[in-house]
Structure 1
Amino acid sequence: MGRRRVLHWNAWRFGLCLLAGLCGVARAAASDLYSAQTVVTGQGVDNRLAGFALCLEDVLIKVSGAYQLSGDARLSSLMPRAREFVTGFDYHDQMSGKPKHDEQGTRDRPYDLTVAFDHAKIDATLAQLGVKPWLAPRPPIGVIVTMTFGSRSFVVVSDDRQSDLQRDALLAAAGKRGLDLVLPTTAQAAGVDAAAKGSPAKLMLPSAGPIVLGHLTWNDGELAWVSEWQMEAAGTQHRWQLHGATFDDTFRRALGGAAQILSGNGAP
């Protein structure tokens, strides 16, 4: 495949900003938009090519902001040719530092596969799909999410261990969609009724641009997170609902919807 490049991820930068106690985050560089990451087993060619295909779809969505491309039947003919769009890739062993205990060695170890794609080829493919690259500066997105599980409710914040899993999932979802994220601190969220479906967004995150409000409630009967989302953009209030088996998947879809609105690709 030629050269490999070590690529950096928005989530890493987000984490540093949050640890430093900052409300703002660095903007995603254009080159980051044309890269994606997935998890593969081993470093074999077959799994690598499958990873390329998954990353290609992610990059087409991330560059354009058009989440409606997810699962688009027109992409099926592109997936087997994904390697033609790749300019570099890199592996990171998730079990780095841990000894190998079997004769299979690295074949069954999980790796983060990071893939970089050719800008011109991605842009040309998007044109064929009827969408455009979203290359204008992307404003930092304020995200205020409340979680309700039974009688327990809490706000996802940047500096409290109670919401570590949800915070990390939101950061990963933002990186996947090419968005910069701002989460409230515990102090900013103080006094907010976590069980309520609305919140004084601008008072909590005055430095953010558009603000996404989300409320997730676990439904025992459906074994799913039922969520309601809203965001104002260009004077229009957008509302949408999602059902997801995991909050990770729900966050990815919700932020995909936000990106779709902000990029001018329509409602979620």
Structure 2
Amino acid sequence: MIKTVTILPRFHLILLLSLWVLGSAHAGEVDGLYSGKVAVADQSTRTQSDAIRQGLEDVFIKVSGNSTLLSDPQIKLQLKQAKSYLRNYRFEQTPEQLYLAVNFDQDKVDKQLRDSGYRIWDRRRPETILWLAIKEPNGERQLVSENSHFELLASAQNAAQRRGIEIVQPLLDLDDMQNINIYDIWGGFVHQLAQASSRYGVDSVLSARIYRLDNTESEQNIDIQWQADWTLLENGSTISGTVAGVDQAQVVVELINSLSDTLASKYAIDFSLLDPNAQRTVITINNLASLRQYGEILTFFRSLSVVNSANLVSQTGQVAQFELSLLGNVDNLMDAIALDSRLSPVNRFEADKQNLEYFWKQ
């Protein structure tokens, strides 16, 4: 979903921004992963059945982070039995539309995804700021904003909600314009994108240029008329790609799908790759000065989908060691920790997977 943000006073940077600064942001926690709302025409039994199936499709996609699993024969079979996953449902009427709100059983959904070989992506997910530039058919290049392209951003919002990810829309105010311009976004210039995004406190940055294909390219596939070249900055790394579609709206939807697929490939847990001999690790936390902070760090660890259990095993002064039983591997754990601003590694530049050590920010 597209979020509005509150901006803190602008800080003047003394040193050049490096990409790892983005890793200090606090991840969003996405609600409603196991529920959905489907537009319906009436309250008939057939309509209810179709809407429940559509709701389960959306939940499978949101929870797995995988946009292609609906073609899986095992998943198709389960979709025919969608009502068996249902916890409750209700109709909701707005002035414009009737909806069926559905809520599914989390344990059953997770088990089916694991049994079918798919990942599980928990509710703690990176927040991404979206910088878009578009070249209109008349040749004019514009920044995409609510004022200039409201419907495009609505398409992005709907796609992000369906995929269960958080998107932040830049304000494009004077501060933004001092840090970035349309050519920085069009060229995907990493430093300018990172600098302009730092004020928003996000975990990742997505920029894209959207343009109409020329006649020669579009004639090869009449269904493909528009294209977007994108660049993603995420936790110190840069990834790029291309999506296409019949119109601008479809391109934006495919852009959000690519973003979600890319993030899920990193943060969702692949249970098929679990190593039984590497499911426990000890992590050292510095700067714990009160019982409240011990409780906070234990609550944090236990909230991570990669962590099966967490227990305090030793404590000396303000330094404590916790033993974690993992459902994934140490890389999964480190990726999850990197999304929370309260924990920072003792050695930011050379991680030691055998001796994990962090500071807890009070």
Q: TM-score range by the shorter chain?
A: 0.7 to 0.9
User: Is structure 2 residue 121 aligned with structure 1 residue 134?
Assistant: yes
Q: Residue 98 of structure 2 aligns to which amino acid in structure 1?
A: Y
1:94 deviation in Å?
4.9
CA shift in 2, pair 1:192/1:112, >3 Å: farther
Q: Residue 208 of structure 1 aligns to which amino acid in structure 2?
A: V
* 2:130 counterpart residue number: 143
1:118 deviation in Å?
0.7
1:67 deviation in Å?
2.4
What is the alpha-carbon distance in structure 2 between the residues aligned to residue 94 and residue 148 of structure 1? 36
State the Cα deviation string for residues 73-128 of structure 1 (Å, max 9, x = none).
432212221111111223333545xxxxxxxxxxxxx5233321110011011102
Q: Using structure 2 for the length normalisation, give the TM-score.
A: 0.57
Which of these two proteins has the greater Rg computed from alpha carbons? Answer: 2
Q: How does 1:146-225 map to 2 (within 5 A)?
A: 146-150=133-137, 151-157=139-145, 160-187=146-173, 188-189=176-177, 192-193=181-182, 196-199=186-189, 200-206=192-198, 207-219=201-213, 221=218, 222=222, 224-225=225-226
CA shift in 2, pair 1:124/1:184, >3 Å: same
What is the alpha-carbon distance in structure 1 between the residues aligned to residue 115 and residue 161 of structure 2? 25
Q: Residue 156 of structure 1 aligns to which amino acid in structure 2?
A: V
Where does the alignment leave 5 or more consecutive residues of structure 1 unmatched?
1-9, 97-109
Secondary structure of 1:238's partner? strand
1:235 deviation in Å?
4.9
Secondary structure of 2:100's partner? strand
CA shift in 2, pair 1:29/1:237, >3 Å: closer
RMSD: 3.0
CA shift in 2, pair 1:230/1:196, >3 Å: closer
What is the alpha-carbon distance in structure 1 between the residues aligned to residue 72 and residue 247 of structure 2? 22
1:189 deviation in Å?
4.7
What is the alpha-carbon distance in structure 2 between the residues aligned to residue 63 and residue 140 of structure 1? 16
Give the conservation status (yes or no) of the 8 Å contact 1:142–1:210. Answer: yes
Q: Residue 181 of structure 2 aligns to which amino acid in structure 1?
A: V
Give the conservation status (yes or no) of the 8 Å contact 2:63–2:120. Answer: yes
User: Is structure 2 residue 219 aligned with structure 1 residue 230?
Assistant: no
Give the conservation status (yes or no) of the 8 Å contact 2:67–2:257. Answer: yes
Give the conservation status (yes or no) of the 8 Å contact 2:85–2:104. Answer: yes
* 1:27 counterpart residue number: 28
Q: Using structure 1 for the length normalisation, give the TM-score.
A: 0.75
CA shift in 2, pair 1:38/1:224, >3 Å: farther
Q: Residue 44 of structure 1 aligns to which amino acid in structure 2?
A: S
* Identity across the alignment (%): 18
* 1:4 counterpart residue number: none
Give the conservation status (yes or no) of the 8 Å contact 1:26–1:180. Answer: no
State the Cα deviation string for residues 28-86 of structure 1 (Å, max 9, x = none).
445x1111233222121212211211221211111121223243343221222111111
Q: Residue 212 of structure 1 aligns to which amino acid in structure 2?
A: L
* 1:116 counterpart residue number: 103
Secondary structure of 2:81's partner? helix
Secondary structure of 1:134's partner? coil
What is the alpha-carbon distance in structure 2 between the residues aligned to residue 180 and residue 149 of structure 1? 27
